[in-house]
Amino acid sequence: MTGSDLSLTLNRPLASPGALELSLRSEAPGIWSALGQVPAGTSTPIVRVADPVPANSRLRLLSYDAEGAEHAGRLVFVTDKVSVSRRQVVTIKSRTTTIKPSDLFGSDLTVIAALASDLADLASDLSASKAPRVTPGSDALPGQPEPARDTDSSDWLWCQEQAAAHHGRSLAAFGLGMPAPPSTPNGEHLAWEDTLVEDAEAGLSDDTAETVDADPDVVDETPLDPPDHTGDHDDIRIARRRRIAKWADVINTVPVASSLIVLRLSMIWWSAGDWDAEDPEPQRVIATMLKAISRRDTRNMKEVDERVASLGLVALTLMRDRVDLTIRDEKALRFLRLRDELAYWVLDARRDLVEEYCKLLRRPSGMPVDPEQVMENVAEWSQEDPYADVVADLESAGYSVTRPGKRLLCVSGDFRDPDRVARLAAGHVPESSLPIGVWAVSQVGKGWALVIWDRPNLVKAVNSGTAPTRWRHQQLGPLLGPITSMEDGSHLGLVRHGRLVDAPLIAHELMGELGVASPHPPAEGLLGVAGADHVLS
């Protein structure tokens, strides 16, 4: 089949015109319909049809003898010439074509080694990640239409085909967030098969629970529970951890679909308990994989971009569940930087893909990962300005608000307690958007205050206009914030550093992180942002 022309080859030319009959692949094998006339006198006739005939459809030729009797020839199958000429067969011999995702969750290390071997072969074959292209012109035959150009749709189909060729249909579906393929010999379901099932229903009435359980053709579609590796032998858990660390180093050298398989498997092993709860290694490995995948060129394949984004946001949620943002340790800082760097993924995330990728994952409590929580994170992380609500509330209260920097606010108004106003503003900022620096400048006096909030640290610089600036540093527990940090005039969680007029080291560190060079508010005309001549002494 080329375009709308069917090219036939006959054993010998027909003595009289014959008829061509078609049985579509989606139809039952015994259903035939007339397709066109086959001329006599040539062994290579071309039959033009109104609509292209799908590949793998069945054809048969009806010929007539001298008495006019009809004879049906053997059936043959239609080949789409353009498709078979542009698809490249991968030479890599896959060892994982028969492996199911559930096989990788068990303790059989030979299955994991088979996947590792396939990934190593793919990493060494640069052509495995490159889609075949067809350029019109030289490949077109005289009188024949030119081969079709690849489109975004065909790129996506190529991605699926190559993933199945590399890893089998089950693992390909696992990585691409697609439904698991049916467990039938040819892996397909055709509409006419339902008729065969209906014809056999009478025989099913004699089945019992015991005979059904003994029938190897019956497929158990019960969803898998999230695996639990906490009771596995240490050697097996160590082997999984080492394998994931090696895969993180080569994830950018294998096809995108293979990268998604590795990332999803790593997330499942992590949530299953292959690392100790306090081990920072899985956070580092997952972060490395996410960065590598985010830099891959998917050639603007929307379907692939959506899968990368959806799985990436599930991974970020998995990291968020295992990070204490009240403590700015290595894990928390890595997560915050990665979340900001990959925030653009929220534009491509799809809920149905998020639901698929959440399967088989556990939270630290042991409960399944809730897709709704991921979507809530998507909504929160997609806000272009996390401080917009805070600014709107302050302005509705009659205050004037300026934005000296990305994470800086300067509030001025008719208030006599700048310290309280600055803490009030900082306390309403979402904790996922910390750190934040807030100046409050009184217009009825000469006082001002600077509050820097980065849980658990609350640093304040307060100036009454006449006395020297006084500094305080508090470390607040999970239930406290800038608003509740003072009760009855006492400072909760106060950390003493020496004289109140000297800025503590933590103040220098937080101001440097925010790009602030001076504690004085920009409204004073003094220099408040890094890069100015006036610096904090």
Residue 384 pLDDT class (50, 70, 90 cuts): low
Give the pLDDT confidence score for residue 293 in this predicted structure. Answer: 93
Residue 362 pLDDT class (50, 70, 90 cuts): very high
Give the pLDDT confidence score for residue 471 in this predicted structure. Answer: 95
Rounded average pLDDT over 470-490: 79
Torsion of CA 345, 349, 354, 356, to 10 degrees: -110
Give the pLDDT confidence score for residue 179 in this predicted structure. Answer: 85
Instruction: For CA atoms 164, 166, 171, 175, give the dihedral sign.
Output: negative
pTM of the predicted model, to two decimals? 0.56
Rounded average pLDDT over 479-486: 79
Question: Comparing 186 with 81, which gets the higher pLDDT?
Answer: 81
Strand-pairing partners, residue 442, are 413
Question: Comparing 440 with 55, which gets the higher pLDDT?
Answer: 440
Rounded average pLDDT over 18-37: 86
Report DSSP state, residue 368.
B
Rounded average pLDDT over 232-252: 93
Please check whether residue 410 is in contact with residue 439, taking contact to mean a CB–CB distance below 8 angstroms. yes
Residue with tokens 């698991």, as numbered in its chain: 180
First-to-final CA distance of the chain:
81
Please check whether residue 529 is in contact with residue 498, taking contact to mean a CB–CB distance below 8 angstroms. no
Mean pLDDT score across all residues of the chain: 81
Residue 489 pLDDT class (50, 70, 90 cuts): low
Least confident of 167-176, 352-361, 428-437, 460-469: 428-437
Give the pLDDT confidence score for residue 60 in this predicted structure. Answer: 92
Rounded average pLDDT over 499-519: 90
Please check whether residue 187 is in contact with residue 100, taking contact to mean a CB–CB distance below 8 angstroms. no
Which residue, among 497, 485, 387, has the nearest Cα to 438 in the 3D structure? Answer: 387
Rounded average pLDDT over 35-56: 87
The 10 Å Cβ neighbour count of residue 353 is 23
Instruction: For CA atoms 249, 173, 177, 126, give the dihedral sign.
Output: positive
Q: What angle do CA 46, 51, 53 make, to 5 degrees?
A: 70
Judge whether residue 506 has pLDDT over 90: yes
Give the pLDDT confidence score for residue 472 in this predicted structure. Answer: 93
Give the pLDDT confidence score for residue 153 in this predicted structure. Answer: 58
> Could you report the per-residue pLDDT of 151-177, keeping only the tens digit for each?
455 678 888 888 888 898 899 999 999
| Rounded Cα distance, 310 and 351, in Å | 8
